[in-house]
């Protein structure tokens, strides 16, 4: 892997959901569309095109690219609300100092899922580094329910971003695919048929058993 490789920000939420899923996406380039992923993508495409909207003291930036050299992370913010604030930061899209508020769009009903909060927090950390500012809060916006869920960007959440990112960089560096651990999440995972989380043996284990059986030392 390139030492300077920047990982896609959205993979943080995949990694928090399941590290094996993130590794399959990242290292084996597996993608299986499910009704959930298709619906989410369709809703995102409908809502998002890169643009800037200005109304008085509020500037809204949609699909804005964000990055962090410190975290080696790059991605997009679905929406950044930039509101006039005298002690705020300077951004190219606004002619006045602003306070930044990132919003991540999700489909489905309102739910406080940790992996979404980690993704949102990582976006905020990128914005803080880019514009030398502090961001205390952001929001998840659930498109179907048309509701906002505010998220406090606590030190604990920031630590979770760093530790998840460290795991993600590690599996990328090692090209590792962690073993499956079956849980309730597998039922909603679009990769479950590829992953086969209930199959306990790795291919290597399976071959070893076959080899032992051929020698009459083991039974399948």
- Do 104 and 118 meet the contact criterion of CB atoms below 8 Å apart? no
- Do 6 and 74 meet the contact criterion of CB atoms below 8 Å apart? yes
Query: What does the binding site for ligand SF4 look like in residue numbers (CB under 6 A)?
Result: 18, 20-21, 180-181, 185-186, 189, 191-192, 195, 197
Strand, coil or helix: 185: helix
Choice between 157 and 189, CB closer to ligand SF4? 189
Choice between 21 and 60, CB closer to ligand SF4? 21
Comparing CA positions, the residue from 78, 79, 172, 71 lying closest to residue 122 is: 71
Comparing CA positions, the residue from 64, 66, 59, 67 lying closest to residue 85 is: 59
Measured in residues, the chain has a length of 220
Choice between 16 and 104, CB closer to ligand SF4? 16
Choice between 127 and 195, CB closer to ligand SF4? 195
Q: How far is the CB of 198 from ligand SF4 (least distance, A)?
A: 9
Q: How far is the CB of 13 from ligand SF4 (least distance, A)?
A: 13
Choice between 24 and 127, CB closer to ligand SF4? 24
In angstroms, the CA 183 to CA 163 distance is: 22
In the chain, helix, strand, coil percent, each to 5?
40, 25, 35
Q: How far is the CB of 129 from ligand SF4 (least distance, A)?
A: 31
Distance of CA 37 to the CA centre of its chain: 14
Q: How far is the CB of 184 from ligand SF4 (least distance, A)?
A: 9
Q: How far is the CB of 16 from ligand SF4 (least distance, A)?
A: 11
Strand, coil or helix: 186: helix
Choice between 38 and 159, CB closer to ligand SF4? 38
Dig out the tokens for 89 from the structure.
């930061």
Q: How far is the CB of 202 from ligand SF4 (least distance, A)?
A: 13
Parallel, antiparallel, or unpaired for β 73-89 and 98-106? antiparallel
């Amino acid at each position: 892997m390139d030492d300077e490789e920047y990982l896609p920000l959205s993979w943080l939420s995949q990694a928090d959901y399941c590290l094996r899923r993130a590794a399959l996406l990242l290292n084996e380039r597996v993608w299986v569309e499910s009704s959930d992923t298709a619906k989410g993508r369709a809703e995102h495409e409908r809502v998002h095109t890169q643009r800037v909207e200005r109304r008085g003291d509020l500037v809204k930036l949609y699909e804005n690219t964000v990055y962090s050299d410190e975290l080696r992370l790059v991605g997009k913010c679905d929406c950044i609300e930039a509101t006039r604030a005298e002690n705020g930061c300077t951004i190219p899209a606004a002619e006045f100092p602003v306070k930044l508020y990132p919003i991540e769009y999700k489909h489905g009903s309102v739910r406080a899922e940790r992996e979404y909060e980690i993704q949102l927090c990582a976006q905020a950390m990128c914005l803080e580094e880019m514009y030398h500012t502090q961001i205390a809060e952001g929001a998840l916006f659930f498109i179907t329910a048309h509701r906002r869920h505010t998220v406090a960007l606590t030190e604990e959440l920031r630590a979770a971003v760093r530790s998840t990112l460290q795991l993600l960089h590690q599996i990328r560096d090692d090209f590792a695919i962690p073993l499956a651990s079956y849980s309730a999440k597998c039922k909603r995972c679009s990769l479950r048929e590829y992953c086969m989380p209930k199959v306990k043996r790795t291919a290597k284990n399976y071959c070893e058993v076959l080899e032992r059986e051929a020698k009459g030392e083991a039974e399948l």
